[in-house]
Amino acid sequence: MTSAEFLERCAAHLPPARLAAVAAATISSPATAVPPGASGSTLLVRYYAWEWSLRNELVRLRARRLERAPEPWVRPVSRDDIGSRVAQSVFQAASPLEAELLLERERWAAIESLKALHYFDLECLVAYRLQLEILVRLARLREEAGEARYRETYAAILAAAPETSPGVVQ
Protein backbone atom coordinates (compact mmCIF):
# COMPACT_ATOMS: atom_id res chain seq x y z
CA MET A 1 0.00 0.00 0.00
CA THR A 2 1.31 3.43 -0.87
CA SER A 3 1.27 6.35 1.50
CA ALA A 4 -1.46 8.00 -0.58
CA GLU A 5 -3.62 4.86 -0.45
CA PHE A 6 -3.14 4.73 3.30
CA LEU A 7 -4.32 8.34 3.59
CA GLU A 8 -7.39 7.55 1.48
CA ARG A 9 -8.29 4.70 3.83
CA CYS A 10 -7.74 6.91 6.86
CA ALA A 11 -9.98 9.60 5.36
CA ALA A 12 -12.90 7.19 5.43
CA HIS A 13 -12.54 6.56 9.18
CA LEU A 14 -10.94 9.56 10.86
CA PRO A 15 -12.33 12.96 11.79
CA PRO A 16 -10.64 15.90 10.00
CA ALA A 17 -8.31 16.90 12.87
CA ARG A 18 -6.94 13.38 13.24
CA LEU A 19 -6.65 12.94 9.50
CA ALA A 20 -4.64 16.18 9.38
CA ALA A 21 -2.18 14.72 11.91
CA VAL A 22 -1.73 11.54 9.84
CA ALA A 23 -1.41 13.59 6.64
CA ALA A 24 1.25 15.79 8.27
CA ALA A 25 3.39 12.70 8.92
CA THR A 26 6.14 12.75 6.33
CA ILE A 27 9.85 12.04 6.54
CA SER A 28 10.74 15.13 4.54
CA SER A 29 11.77 17.92 6.83
CA PRO A 30 8.93 20.37 7.41
CA ALA A 31 9.46 24.11 7.08
CA THR A 32 8.41 24.62 10.69
CA ALA A 33 9.12 22.53 13.78
CA VAL A 34 5.46 21.63 14.06
CA PRO A 35 3.77 21.72 10.65
CA PRO A 36 0.02 22.38 10.42
CA GLY A 37 -1.91 19.36 11.63
CA ALA A 38 1.07 17.75 13.38
CA SER A 39 0.26 19.30 16.75
CA GLY A 40 -2.54 16.73 17.12
CA SER A 41 0.07 13.99 17.49
CA THR A 42 2.61 13.92 20.31
CA LEU A 43 4.56 11.25 18.43
CA LEU A 44 4.85 13.45 15.35
CA VAL A 45 5.94 16.50 17.33
CA ARG A 46 8.63 14.39 19.06
CA TYR A 47 9.71 12.77 15.79
CA TYR A 48 10.17 16.15 14.08
CA ALA A 49 12.18 17.45 17.06
CA TRP A 50 14.45 14.39 16.72
CA GLU A 51 14.68 14.84 12.93
CA TRP A 52 15.57 18.54 13.25
CA SER A 53 18.19 17.78 15.88
CA LEU A 54 19.70 15.17 13.56
CA ARG A 55 19.69 17.59 10.63
CA ASN A 56 21.19 20.36 12.76
CA GLU A 57 24.07 18.08 13.71
CA LEU A 58 24.61 17.15 10.05
CA VAL A 59 24.70 20.87 9.23
CA ARG A 60 27.32 21.44 11.92
CA LEU A 61 29.47 18.55 10.66
CA ARG A 62 29.25 19.68 7.03
CA ALA A 63 29.94 23.31 7.97
CA ARG A 64 32.99 22.28 9.98
CA ARG A 65 34.33 20.28 7.01
CA LEU A 66 33.74 23.25 4.67
CA GLU A 67 35.05 25.74 7.25
CA ARG A 68 31.82 27.72 7.26
CA ALA A 69 29.47 28.96 9.94
CA PRO A 70 26.51 26.60 10.47
CA GLU A 71 24.15 29.18 12.00
CA PRO A 72 22.26 30.18 8.83
CA TRP A 73 21.04 26.59 8.42
CA VAL A 74 20.56 25.50 12.04
CA ARG A 75 16.94 25.34 13.12
CA PRO A 76 15.79 26.28 16.64
CA VAL A 77 15.32 22.96 18.42
CA SER A 78 16.82 21.25 21.46
CA ARG A 79 19.81 19.03 20.80
CA ASP A 80 19.10 15.30 20.95
CA ASP A 81 22.01 13.04 21.93
CA ILE A 82 20.76 10.13 19.85
CA GLY A 83 20.26 12.39 16.83
CA SER A 84 23.81 13.67 17.27
CA ARG A 85 25.20 10.13 17.40
CA VAL A 86 23.23 9.15 14.30
CA ALA A 87 24.51 12.23 12.45
CA GLN A 88 28.11 11.26 13.26
CA SER A 89 27.54 7.75 11.89
CA VAL A 90 25.81 9.02 8.75
CA PHE A 91 28.50 11.62 8.17
CA GLN A 92 31.25 8.99 8.40
CA ALA A 93 29.57 6.46 6.08
CA ALA A 94 31.78 5.03 3.34
CA SER A 95 29.40 5.95 0.51
CA PRO A 96 26.32 8.11 -0.07
CA LEU A 97 24.18 4.97 -0.43
CA GLU A 98 25.47 3.59 2.85
CA ALA A 99 24.71 6.94 4.50
CA GLU A 100 21.16 6.98 3.14
CA LEU A 101 20.49 3.40 4.24
CA LEU A 102 21.86 4.12 7.70
CA LEU A 103 19.77 7.28 7.96
CA GLU A 104 16.57 5.42 7.04
CA ARG A 105 17.38 2.58 9.45
CA GLU A 106 17.87 5.10 12.26
CA ARG A 107 14.66 6.94 11.37
CA TRP A 108 12.82 3.62 11.52
CA ALA A 109 14.35 2.87 14.94
CA ALA A 110 13.38 6.32 16.23
CA ILE A 111 9.79 5.82 15.08
CA GLU A 112 9.68 2.35 16.67
CA SER A 113 10.90 3.85 19.93
CA LEU A 114 8.32 6.63 19.82
CA LYS A 115 5.41 4.31 19.06
CA ALA A 116 6.12 1.96 21.95
CA LEU A 117 2.93 1.19 23.89
CA HIS A 118 0.73 2.62 21.14
CA TYR A 119 -1.58 0.08 19.57
CA PHE A 120 -3.98 1.17 16.88
CA ASP A 121 -4.50 4.68 18.11
CA LEU A 122 -3.69 7.94 16.35
CA GLU A 123 0.00 7.68 17.26
CA CYS A 124 0.20 4.21 15.75
CA LEU A 125 -1.37 5.49 12.51
CA VAL A 126 1.10 8.39 12.39
CA ALA A 127 4.02 6.01 12.95
CA TYR A 128 2.71 3.68 10.25
CA ARG A 129 2.53 6.56 7.77
CA LEU A 130 6.09 7.63 8.59
CA GLN A 131 7.30 4.07 8.09
CA LEU A 132 5.45 3.83 4.77
CA GLU A 133 7.28 6.98 3.70
CA ILE A 134 10.59 5.34 4.59
CA LEU A 135 9.73 2.23 2.59
CA VAL A 136 8.79 4.33 -0.44
CA ARG A 137 12.08 6.22 -0.19
CA LEU A 138 14.08 3.02 0.14
CA ALA A 139 12.36 1.57 -2.92
CA ARG A 140 13.64 4.55 -4.93
CA LEU A 141 17.24 3.96 -3.82
CA ARG A 142 18.02 1.33 -6.42
CA GLU A 143 21.52 0.89 -7.75
CA GLU A 144 20.41 0.89 -11.40
CA ALA A 145 18.54 4.16 -10.99
CA GLY A 146 21.54 5.71 -9.23
CA GLU A 147 23.89 4.57 -11.98
CA ALA A 148 21.55 5.94 -14.67
CA ARG A 149 21.27 9.29 -12.87
CA TYR A 150 25.06 9.45 -12.50
CA ARG A 151 25.52 8.84 -16.24
CA GLU A 152 22.93 11.53 -17.10
CA THR A 153 24.64 14.05 -14.84
CA TYR A 154 28.10 13.17 -16.17
CA ALA A 155 26.89 13.48 -19.77
CA ALA A 156 25.34 16.88 -18.99
CA ILE A 157 28.62 18.09 -17.45
CA LEU A 158 30.58 16.94 -20.48
CA ALA A 159 28.11 18.59 -22.85
CA ALA A 160 28.36 21.89 -20.94
CA ALA A 161 32.16 21.86 -20.76
CA PRO A 162 33.94 24.13 -23.21
CA GLU A 163 35.64 22.39 -26.11
CA THR A 164 39.42 22.15 -25.76
CA SER A 165 41.68 23.76 -28.27
CA PRO A 166 43.66 21.64 -30.74
CA GLY A 167 46.85 20.23 -29.34
CA VAL A 168 45.51 20.00 -25.75
CA VAL A 169 45.63 16.47 -24.43
CA GLN A 170 42.48 15.27 -22.72
Nearest Cα to Cα of residue 118 among 101, 130, 107: 130
Positive or negative torsion for Cα 105, 110, 111, 115: positive
Positive or negative torsion for Cα 111, 112, 114, 119: positive
pTM: 0.76
Write the pLDDT tens digit of every residue in 99-139.
999 999 999 999 999 998 888 899 999 999 999 999 988 88
